[in-house]
Chain A
Amino acid sequence: EAQVTQNPRYLITVTGKKLTVTCSQNMNHEYMSWYRQDPGLGLRQIYYSMNVEVTDKGDVPEGYKVSRKEKRNFPLILESPSPNQTSLYFCASTRLAAYNEQFFGPGTRLTVL
Protein backbone atom coordinates (compact mmCIF):
# COMPACT_ATOMS: atom_id res chain seq x y z
CA GLU A 1 0.00 0.00 0.00
CA ALA A 2 1.32 3.41 -1.01
CA GLN A 3 1.68 5.55 2.09
CA VAL A 4 3.56 8.08 4.16
CA THR A 5 4.25 6.98 7.73
CA GLN A 6 5.21 9.09 10.71
CA ASN A 7 6.41 8.13 14.16
CA PRO A 8 5.55 8.74 16.87
CA ARG A 9 1.89 9.69 16.43
CA TYR A 10 1.80 11.34 19.86
CA LEU A 11 4.64 12.74 21.92
CA ILE A 12 4.80 14.66 25.17
CA THR A 13 8.21 15.99 26.10
CA VAL A 14 9.88 18.70 28.14
CA THR A 15 11.64 21.88 27.11
CA GLY A 16 15.15 21.31 25.82
CA LYS A 17 15.03 17.55 25.35
CA LYS A 18 16.08 16.72 21.79
CA LEU A 19 13.62 14.72 19.73
CA THR A 20 13.21 13.33 16.23
CA VAL A 21 10.00 12.67 14.34
CA THR A 22 10.52 10.16 11.58
CA CYS A 23 8.86 10.23 8.18
CA SER A 24 9.04 7.55 5.51
CA GLN A 25 7.35 7.13 2.12
CA ASN A 26 7.23 4.04 -0.08
CA MET A 27 6.23 5.72 -3.34
CA ASN A 28 9.71 6.72 -4.56
CA HIS A 29 8.70 10.40 -4.48
CA GLU A 30 11.47 12.94 -4.94
CA TYR A 31 9.82 15.77 -3.06
CA MET A 32 9.04 15.73 0.66
CA SER A 33 7.90 18.42 3.09
CA TRP A 34 7.20 19.05 6.76
CA TYR A 35 4.28 21.20 7.93
CA ARG A 36 2.96 22.32 11.25
CA GLN A 37 -0.74 22.91 11.80
CA ASP A 38 -1.95 25.42 14.37
CA PRO A 39 -5.52 26.59 15.01
CA GLY A 40 -6.45 29.55 12.84
CA LEU A 41 -3.22 29.37 10.86
CA GLY A 42 -3.74 26.33 8.67
CA LEU A 43 -0.67 24.40 7.57
CA ARG A 44 2.65 26.17 7.36
CA GLN A 45 5.68 24.68 5.70
CA ILE A 46 8.73 24.12 7.90
CA TYR A 47 11.26 22.52 5.52
CA TYR A 48 11.20 20.75 2.20
CA SER A 49 13.48 18.50 0.19
CA MET A 50 13.74 18.09 -3.55
CA ASN A 51 15.90 14.98 -3.42
CA VAL A 52 18.60 13.21 -1.43
CA GLU A 53 20.90 15.74 0.27
CA VAL A 54 18.86 18.68 -1.09
CA THR A 55 16.84 20.53 1.52
CA ASP A 56 15.64 24.09 1.99
CA LYS A 57 13.74 26.24 4.44
CA GLY A 58 10.03 26.76 4.24
CA ASP A 59 8.09 29.55 5.90
CA VAL A 60 8.69 28.67 9.59
CA PRO A 61 12.07 26.87 9.88
CA GLU A 62 13.31 28.37 13.15
CA GLY A 63 14.01 25.73 15.79
CA TYR A 64 13.89 22.80 13.38
CA LYS A 65 16.37 20.74 11.37
CA VAL A 66 15.91 18.09 8.72
CA SER A 67 18.03 15.64 6.80
CA ARG A 68 17.55 13.61 3.62
CA LYS A 69 20.15 10.89 3.49
CA GLU A 70 17.86 8.40 1.78
CA LYS A 71 15.11 9.07 -0.71
CA ARG A 72 12.38 7.45 1.38
CA ASN A 73 13.18 9.10 4.75
CA PHE A 74 12.88 12.72 5.85
CA PRO A 75 13.19 13.09 9.65
CA LEU A 76 12.33 16.29 11.51
CA ILE A 77 14.68 17.16 14.36
CA LEU A 78 13.96 19.49 17.26
CA GLU A 79 17.28 19.93 19.03
CA SER A 80 15.96 22.04 21.89
CA PRO A 81 12.16 22.00 21.84
CA SER A 82 10.22 24.88 23.34
CA PRO A 83 6.53 25.19 24.28
CA ASN A 84 5.80 27.27 21.16
CA GLN A 85 6.61 24.18 19.10
CA THR A 86 3.60 22.41 20.55
CA SER A 87 1.65 21.63 17.40
CA LEU A 88 0.35 19.02 14.98
CA TYR A 89 3.03 18.05 12.47
CA PHE A 90 2.55 16.55 9.03
CA CYS A 91 5.01 15.03 6.63
CA ALA A 92 4.07 14.94 2.96
CA SER A 93 5.52 13.66 -0.29
CA THR A 94 4.72 14.84 -3.78
CA ARG A 95 4.05 12.86 -6.90
CA LEU A 96 5.46 14.48 -10.03
CA ALA A 97 2.61 13.71 -12.33
CA ALA A 98 -0.45 15.58 -13.47
CA TYR A 99 -1.89 17.74 -10.70
CA ASN A 100 1.14 17.29 -8.42
CA GLU A 101 -0.81 15.80 -5.58
CA GLN A 102 0.68 15.76 -2.10
CA PHE A 103 0.34 12.61 0.01
CA PHE A 104 0.22 13.27 3.72
CA GLY A 105 1.28 11.20 6.68
CA PRO A 106 -1.14 10.63 9.58
CA GLY A 107 0.25 13.50 11.68
CA THR A 108 2.23 13.73 14.93
CA ARG A 109 0.74 15.54 17.90
CA LEU A 110 3.62 17.09 19.84
CA THR A 111 3.29 18.70 23.25
CA VAL A 112 6.29 20.47 24.77
CA LEU A 113 5.92 21.21 28.49
Chain B
Amino acid sequence: AQTVTQSQPEMSVQEAETVTLSCTYDTSENNYYLFWYKQPPSRQMILVIRQEAYKQQNATENRFSVNFQKAAKSFSLKISDSQLGDTAMYFCAFMKLYNFNKFYFGSGTKLNVKP
Protein backbone atom coordinates (compact mmCIF):
# COMPACT_ATOMS: atom_id res chain seq x y z
CA ALA B 1 0.00 0.00 0.00
CA GLN B 2 1.05 3.55 -0.58
CA THR B 3 1.63 5.91 2.33
CA VAL B 4 1.93 9.67 2.36
CA THR B 5 3.59 11.43 5.27
CA GLN B 6 3.38 15.08 6.22
CA SER B 7 5.63 15.55 9.22
CA GLN B 8 4.69 19.15 10.02
CA PRO B 9 1.27 19.28 11.72
CA GLU B 10 1.34 23.07 11.91
CA MET B 11 3.44 25.93 10.54
CA SER B 12 3.39 29.70 10.66
CA VAL B 13 4.75 32.29 8.26
CA GLN B 14 4.70 36.07 8.09
CA GLU B 15 2.75 37.68 5.30
CA ALA B 16 4.89 38.21 2.16
CA GLU B 17 7.47 35.63 3.22
CA THR B 18 8.14 32.20 1.74
CA VAL B 19 7.26 28.90 3.37
CA THR B 20 7.87 25.27 2.39
CA LEU B 21 5.61 22.39 3.36
CA SER B 22 7.09 18.89 3.35
CA CYS B 23 5.64 15.66 2.01
CA THR B 24 7.19 12.25 1.58
CA TYR B 25 5.59 9.14 0.17
CA ASP B 26 6.32 5.47 -0.08
CA THR B 27 5.59 3.51 -3.22
CA SER B 28 7.05 0.85 -5.46
CA GLU B 29 5.32 2.36 -8.49
CA ASN B 30 7.28 4.18 -11.17
CA ASN B 31 4.43 6.16 -12.72
CA TYR B 32 2.07 8.18 -10.57
CA TYR B 33 0.64 11.62 -9.85
CA LEU B 34 1.20 13.85 -6.85
CA PHE B 35 -1.06 16.64 -5.69
CA TRP B 36 -1.30 19.40 -3.14
CA TYR B 37 -4.79 20.34 -1.97
CA LYS B 38 -5.74 23.37 0.10
CA GLN B 39 -8.58 23.30 2.62
CA PRO B 40 -9.47 26.78 3.92
CA PRO B 41 -11.79 27.31 6.90
CA SER B 42 -14.73 26.89 4.51
CA ARG B 43 -13.66 23.19 4.34
CA GLN B 44 -13.78 23.13 0.55
CA MET B 45 -10.96 21.04 -0.95
CA ILE B 46 -9.16 23.03 -3.62
CA LEU B 47 -6.48 21.67 -5.94
CA VAL B 48 -3.35 23.80 -5.68
CA ILE B 49 -0.83 22.04 -7.88
CA ARG B 50 -0.12 18.64 -9.43
CA GLN B 51 2.93 16.79 -10.70
CA GLU B 52 3.33 13.78 -12.96
CA ALA B 53 6.12 11.50 -11.81
CA TYR B 54 7.58 11.05 -15.29
CA LYS B 55 8.10 14.78 -15.68
CA GLN B 56 11.40 15.96 -14.29
CA GLN B 57 10.44 19.61 -14.41
CA ASN B 58 8.89 20.88 -11.21
CA ALA B 59 5.34 22.17 -11.51
CA THR B 60 4.59 25.83 -10.88
CA GLU B 61 1.29 27.67 -10.46
CA ASN B 62 1.75 31.39 -9.83
CA ARG B 63 3.08 31.70 -6.24
CA PHE B 64 3.00 27.94 -5.69
CA SER B 65 5.78 25.61 -6.79
CA VAL B 66 6.93 22.14 -5.91
CA ASN B 67 10.28 20.49 -5.37
CA PHE B 68 9.80 16.96 -6.67
CA GLN B 69 12.63 14.57 -5.82
CA LYS B 70 11.61 11.19 -7.24
CA ALA B 71 14.53 9.19 -5.93
CA ALA B 72 14.03 10.57 -2.44
CA LYS B 73 10.21 10.23 -2.77
CA SER B 74 9.80 13.78 -1.66
CA PHE B 75 7.26 16.34 -2.86
CA SER B 76 7.44 19.67 -1.03
CA LEU B 77 5.27 22.72 -1.67
CA LYS B 78 6.76 26.21 -1.68
CA ILE B 79 4.48 29.19 -1.25
CA SER B 80 6.09 32.49 -2.17
CA ASP B 81 4.87 35.94 -1.08
CA SER B 82 2.47 34.36 1.42
CA GLN B 83 -0.92 35.99 1.71
CA LEU B 84 -3.50 35.94 4.49
CA GLY B 85 -5.78 33.94 2.20
CA ASP B 86 -3.21 31.15 2.14
CA THR B 87 -4.14 30.30 5.72
CA ALA B 88 -5.52 26.77 5.42
CA MET B 89 -4.89 23.09 5.90
CA TYR B 90 -2.74 21.66 3.12
CA PHE B 91 -2.89 18.02 2.10
CA CYS B 92 -0.42 16.11 -0.02
CA ALA B 93 -1.93 13.30 -2.11
CA PHE B 94 -0.69 10.43 -4.27
CA MET B 95 -2.40 8.52 -7.07
CA LYS B 96 -1.08 5.59 -9.07
CA LEU B 97 -1.19 6.05 -12.82
CA TYR B 98 -4.53 4.86 -14.25
CA ASN B 99 -5.82 3.95 -10.79
CA PHE B 100 -8.30 6.78 -10.86
CA ASN B 101 -10.15 5.93 -7.70
CA LYS B 102 -7.26 5.45 -5.31
CA PHE B 103 -6.01 8.69 -3.86
CA TYR B 104 -3.84 8.48 -0.76
CA PHE B 105 -3.72 11.54 1.43
CA GLY B 106 -1.29 12.73 4.07
CA SER B 107 -2.46 13.86 7.49
CA GLY B 108 -2.23 17.54 6.56
CA THR B 109 -0.27 20.63 7.57
CA LYS B 110 -2.08 23.60 9.06
CA LEU B 111 -0.54 26.79 7.73
CA ASN B 112 -1.11 30.09 9.53
CA VAL B 113 -0.14 33.25 7.68
CA LYS B 114 0.37 36.10 10.13
CA PRO B 115 -0.09 39.78 9.25
Q: Do A and B bind each other?
A: yes
Contact assessment for B105 and A100 in the assembled complex, using a CB-CB cutoff below 8 Å:
no
Residue from A43, A99, A102, A104 within 8 A of B52 (CB atoms): A99
Inter-subunit contact A31/B100 (CB<8 Å): yes
Is there contact, CB below 8 Å, between B44 and A31? no
Residue on A with the closest CB to B97?
A100
Q: How many A-B residue pairs have CB under 8 A?
A: 55
Select which of B9, B45, B95, B108 is within 8 A of A100 by beta carbon.
Answer: B95
Q: How far is the CA of A49 from the CA of B101 in the complex (A)?
A: 8
Which of A71-113 touch B at CB < 8 Å?
88, 90, 92, 94, 96, 99-102, 104, 106-107
> Interface 1/0s, chain B 41-60, versus A by CB < 8 A?
01111010010100000000
Residue from B35, B47, B101, B105 in contact with A42 in the complex, judged by beta carbons closer than 8 Å: B105
Which residue of A40, A43, A94, A106 is within 8 Å of B100 (Cβ)?
Answer: A94
Known: A31-B100, A43-B103. 9 other contacts (CB 8 A): A33-B101, A43-B91, A48-B102, A90-B45, A92-B45, A94-B101, A101-B47, A102-B103, A104-B44
Query: Residues of B at under 8 Å CB distance from A?
Result: 4, 6, 9, 33, 35, 42-45, 47, 50, 52, 91, 93, 95, 100-103, 105-108
